[in-house]
Structure 1
Amino acid sequence: MASNQHQNQTIKETASVPQYTVPNQQQNQPQSKYSQLLAVIEELGKDIRPSYTGNKMSAERLKRSIIHARILVRECLMETEKSGTRSN
């Protein structure tokens, strides 16, 4: 029985919980297109290396992220053009 208690204590001491990062931005607050684009570009970087090693899920996620980034770039350009015409 003493060894069982020691074993439980060892398990409790060595157990760990995986750590996840939570974005600092609040969900109620809309992100600008530029901020969204920066976030997508950051995520792109995480999938590049695994896609080179043949990870199909990463390759598909990379394709979707590239498409999303292209859309956001167009939207950012449109916002920039609109703000440029307003200031003139």
Structure 2
Amino acid sequence: MAASLNIPAALLDYLLAGSVHSPSTSMAGSGQYRQLINDYGPPSLGYNQGVQGTSSSQVPQSKYAELLAIIEELGKEIRPTYAGSKSAMERLKRGIIHARGLVRECLAETERNARS
């Protein structure tokens, strides 16, 4: 699916490898990730973070959709970052940290669903 978004494979590897020094080990829970995404701004794909279903089967889909939206936004920040934009670099960093948190949440949810 990443190919349809034109996301470089290196970016996906970077997200999954965890090579960004994120404060996730010192932060408690995903509330801080929500704080980071609020600083980062909402995804431009029209995905509303506040609207989530109540059944557990809808949670992974919304987390996954949120992750895809963040990855889409990250793709838009790469070129300005190479051009030297410091604000784009900061948005890219915050987006990567948030995407890593979402990857962890999606993996945890997948593992929970596999056990049940």
Q: For residues 77 and 67 of structure 1, what CA distance do their matches in structure 2 show?
A: 16
For the aligned residue pairs, the C-alpha RMSD in angstroms reads: 2.0
1:57 equivalent among 87, 97, 106: 87
| Consecutive unaligned residues in structure 1, runs of 5 or more | 1-20
Higher fraction of helix: 1
Note if 1:80 corresponds to 2:110: yes
62 and 27 in structure 1: CA distance in 2 versus 1, 3 angstrom threshold: closer
Structure 1 residue 27 displacement after superposition: 6.5
Secondary structure at 2:84 match in 1? coil
Cross-structure match for 1:14: none
Q: Report if aligned partners of 2:74, 2:96 keep a CA contact under 8 Å in 1.
A: yes
- Percent identity of paired positions between Structure 1 and Structure 2: 58
Runs (4+) off by over 2 Å: 25-29
Q: For residues 89 and 49 of structure 2, what CA distance do their matches in structure 1 show?
A: 28
| Consecutive unaligned residues in structure 2, runs of 5 or more | 1-43, 53-58
Cross-structure match for 1:4: none
Higher Rg: 1
One-letter code aligned to 2:51: Q
Task: Report 1:10-49 matches (<5 A).
Answer: 23=46, 25=47, 29-30=51-52, 32-49=62-79
Q: Report if aligned partners of 2:49, 2:66 keep a CA contact under 8 Å in 1.
A: no
Structure 1 residue 71 displacement after superposition: 0.3
